[in-house]
């Protein structure tokens, strides 16, 4: 991949990935992060989003960086790493018992790209759907959700599902997201917990 502007910026500013700028731009638009928040970052490796989130929530906040792939330790003390698959059924219980409910859930999960777009789209939306399900166990009332999506036939149905749980939902493509890429981000504001049962039953 050509070393583009955001790749160079990430290197010079000490970010682990060019994806960092996507989260910064999403937050510039929607202004969802606050000092002291607790944030869950799904699909966090190598850790660019967790770095950005940790700076935005500050030293009194917390970021839980979750990925099935290895994430190297952060110098930012407020980031904790959970090396887990987001499909793990025990994940909500583990998070709730250790950290309680969270202010924001962000997901940049994406599958390994096979080149078969409709398959990749379908797997990616199923990861997004898992992230949306996790908001129902983990988000505080009025919490926020940011989620990567691959645009395709299943996107409208996903947005319909999201609307059932958030007062406001938006789609946004940050400038750092490559124009040719199918990727776009869904943003959910003001989580409405009354429509959901508060915990997921684990077996
Ligand atoms: C585009 S990368 C995330 C980049 C990250 N936001 C950053 O700023 O550095 C997508 C990540 O999703 C993760 N992922 C995909 N499926 C997953 C799953 N089932 N459980 C946990 N992580 C998953 C991959 O391992 C990969 O690290």
Sequence spans of domains, the chain = 19-195
Residues composing the chain: 203
CATH of 19-195, one of 2.60.40.10, 3.40.30.10, 3.40.50.450, 3.40.50.150: 3.40.50.150
63 lines ligand 1 (CB under 6 A): no
Examine the pLDDT at 194 and tell me if it is beyond 90.
Answer: no
Q: Which atom of ligand 1 is nearest to the CA of 16?
A: 9
CA dihedral 167, 110, 103, 142 (to 10 degrees): 0
Residue 151: which pLDDT band, with cuts at 50, 70 and 90?
very high
Q: Which among 80, 92, 78, 150 has a CA at the least distance from the CA of 117?
A: 150
108 lines ligand 1 (CB under 6 A): yes
Q: Which residue has the tokens 């699909």?
A: 43
Examine the pLDDT at 186 and tell me if it is beyond 80.
Answer: yes
Please list the helix, strand and coil fractions of the chain in percent, rounded to the nearest 5, in that order: 35, 25, 40
46 lines ligand 1 (CB under 6 A): yes
110 lines ligand 1 (CB under 6 A): yes
Residue 2: which pLDDT band, with cuts at 50, 70 and 90?
low
H or E element, residue 133: helix 117-138
Examine the pLDDT at 45 and tell me if it is beyond 80.
Answer: yes
Q: What pLDDT score was predicted for residue 141?
A: 97
Contact assessment for residue 60 and residue 37, using Cβ atoms and an 8 Å cutoff:
no
47 lines ligand 1 (CB under 6 A): yes
Average pLDDT, the chain: 94
Q: Which atom of ligand 1 is nearest to the CA of 46?
A: 9
DSSP state string for 74-107: PSSTTEEEEE--TT-TTHHHHHHHHH-SEEEEEE
Q: Which atom of ligand 1 is nearest to the CA of 109?
A: 12
CA 128 to centroid of ligand 1, rounded, Å:
11
H or E element, residue 127: helix 117-138
First to last CA, the chain: 43
The sign of the dihedral angle between the CA atoms of 84, 22, 160, 114 is negative
CA 18 to centroid of ligand 1, rounded, Å:
14
Selecting among 148, 160, 163, 180, the annotated active-site residue is 148
Q: Which atom of ligand 1 is nearest to the CA of 50?
A: 8
> What mean pLDDT do residues 45-57 have?
98
Examine the pLDDT at 203 and tell me if it is beyond 60.
Answer: no
Residue 193: which pLDDT band, with cuts at 50, 70 and 90?
confident
Catalytic site includes residue 148: yes
Distances (CA, A) of 55 to 19, 34, 70, 110, 134: 15, 10, 21, 24, 24
pLDDT digits 0-9 by tens, 84-107: 999 999 999 999 999 999 999 999
17 lines ligand 1 (CB under 6 A): yes
């Amino acid at each position: 991949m050509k070393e583009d502007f955001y790749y160079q910026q990430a290197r010079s500013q000490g970010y682990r990935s060019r994806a960092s700028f996507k989260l910064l731009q999403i937050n510039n638009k929607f202004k969802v992060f606050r000092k002291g928040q607790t944030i869950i970052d799904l699909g966090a490796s190598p850790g660019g989003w967790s770095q950005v989130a940790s700076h935005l929530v500050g030293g009194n906040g917390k970021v839980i960086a979750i990925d099935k792939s290895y994430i190297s330790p952060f110098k930012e003390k407020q980031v904790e790493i959970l090396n887990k698959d987001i499909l793990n059924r025990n994940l909500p219980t583990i998070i709730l018992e250790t950290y309680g409910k969270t202010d924001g859930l962000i997901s940049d999960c994406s599958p390994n790209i096979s080149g078969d777009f409709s398959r990749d789209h379908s797997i990616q939306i199923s990861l997004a759907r898992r992230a949306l399900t996790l908001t129902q166990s983990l988000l505080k009332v009025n919490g926020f959700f940011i989620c990567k999506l691959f645009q395709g036939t299943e996107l409208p149905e996903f947005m319909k599902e999201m609307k059932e749980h958030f007062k406001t939902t938006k789609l946004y493509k940050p400038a750092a997201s490559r124009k040719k890429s199918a990727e776009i981000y869904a943003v959910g504001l003001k989580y409405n917990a009354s429509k959901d049962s508060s915990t997921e039953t684990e077996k």
